């Protein structure tokens, strides 16, 4: 005759383990509720959102401009050489400390409601908050000059506050 193996019973959890689990759950709830509030208070300006690395870098503005290359009149598209020449003549003198140009594919709805897709350029400019007034004036001149030079309806602009450390 074979005997059945004895069944082992799991001991009831010790009281200290139950308390530890409750404490862990309470801490997780506190972090989930309290952490966003704590991080949000690190920002220099609450409206600008939380700062990723508090205290690192100086307050800057970041402006991104989006330039289309197709001409509404059906003329030849803006070439890489033409665009970089425009950057050298019209952008670099106002922002000599640096900039970034990226090529892309963009789309937007034109004044007639038609969705246009085209090769595009994204220009990123970083400048100190203390230079905001002069920077804004220069950026608006760039937008106007590009529209005139290449027959564009618009040059999109996106501004954001950030911190920069070089």
CATH number at residue 76: 3.30.70.120
Q: Is residue 143 one of the residues assigned to a domain?
A: yes
Residues 126 and 65 both lie in one domain:
yes
Residues 63 and 41 both lie in one domain:
no
**Contact call for residues 142 and 94 (beta carbons, < 8 A):** yes
3-state secondary structure of 13: coil
| Mean pLDDT (whole number) for 102-113 | 90
3-state secondary structure of 151: coil
Residues 80 and 42 both lie in one domain:
no
Q: Is residue 8 one of the residues assigned to a domain?
A: no
Q: Given this model, what pLDDT does residue 48 score?
A: 56
In angstroms, the CA 23 to CA 15 distance is 12
Q: Give the contacts of 29 (CB within 8 A, at least 6 positions apart).
A: none
Q: Is residue 1 one of the residues assigned to a domain?
A: no
| Mean pLDDT (whole number) for 153-161 | 96
Q: Is residue 2 one of the residues assigned to a domain?
A: no
Q: Is residue 154 one of the residues assigned to a domain?
A: yes
Radius of gyration of the chain measured on its C-alpha atoms: 29
Picking from 49, 79, 57, the residue whose alpha carbon sits closest to that of residue 150 is 79
Residues of the chain with pLDDT > 90, as a percent, come to 57
Q: What's the domain count of the chain?
A: 2
| Length of the chain as a residue count | 166
pTM strictly above 0.75: no
Residues 74 and 42 both lie in one domain:
no
Q: Given this model, what pLDDT does residue 144 score?
A: 98
Residues 63 and 134 both lie in one domain:
yes
User: Is a pLDDT exceeding 90 seen at residue 62?
Assistant: yes
Residues 68 and 20 both lie in one domain:
no
Q: Given this model, what pLDDT does residue 26 score?
A: 45
In angstroms, the CA 71 to CA 78 distance is 8
Picking from 121, 114, 113, the residue whose alpha carbon sits closest to that of residue 150 is 121
Residues of the chain with pLDDT > 70, as a percent, come to 67
User: Which residues span the domain enclosing 142?
Assistant: 58-164
Picking from 60, 84, 64, the residue whose alpha carbon sits closest to that of residue 125 is 64
Kindly indicate the confidence band of residue 27, based on its pLDDT and cuts at 50, 70 and 90: very low
Listed range (3-7, 34-38, 60-64, 159-163) with the worst mean pLDDT:
34-38
Listed range (24-38, 69-83, 96-110) with the worst mean pLDDT:
24-38
| Mean pLDDT (whole number) for 93-119 | 92
* Mean of per-residue pLDDT scores for the chain: 79
């Amino acid at each position: 005759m074979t005997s059945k193996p004895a069944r082992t019973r799991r001991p009831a959890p010790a009281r200290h383990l139950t308390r530890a689990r409750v404490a862990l759950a309470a801490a997780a709830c506190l972090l989930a509720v309290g952490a966003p509030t704590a991080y949000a208070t690190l920002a220099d300006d609450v409206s600008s959102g939380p700062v990723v690395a508090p205290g690192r870098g100086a307050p800057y503005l970041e402006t991104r401009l989006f330039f289309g290359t197709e001409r509404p009149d059906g003329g030849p598209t803006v070439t890489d050489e033409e665009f970089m020449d425009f950057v050298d003549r019209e952008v670099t003198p106002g922002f000599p400390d640096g900039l970034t140009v990226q090529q892309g594919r963009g789309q937007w709805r034109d004044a007639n409601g038609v969705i246009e897709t085209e090769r595009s350029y994204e220009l990123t400019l970083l400048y100190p908050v203390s230079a905001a007034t002069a920077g804004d004036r220069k950026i608006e001149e760039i937008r106007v000059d590009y529209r005139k030079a290449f027959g564009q309806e618009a040059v999109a602009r996106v501004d954001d506050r950030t911190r920069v450390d070089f």
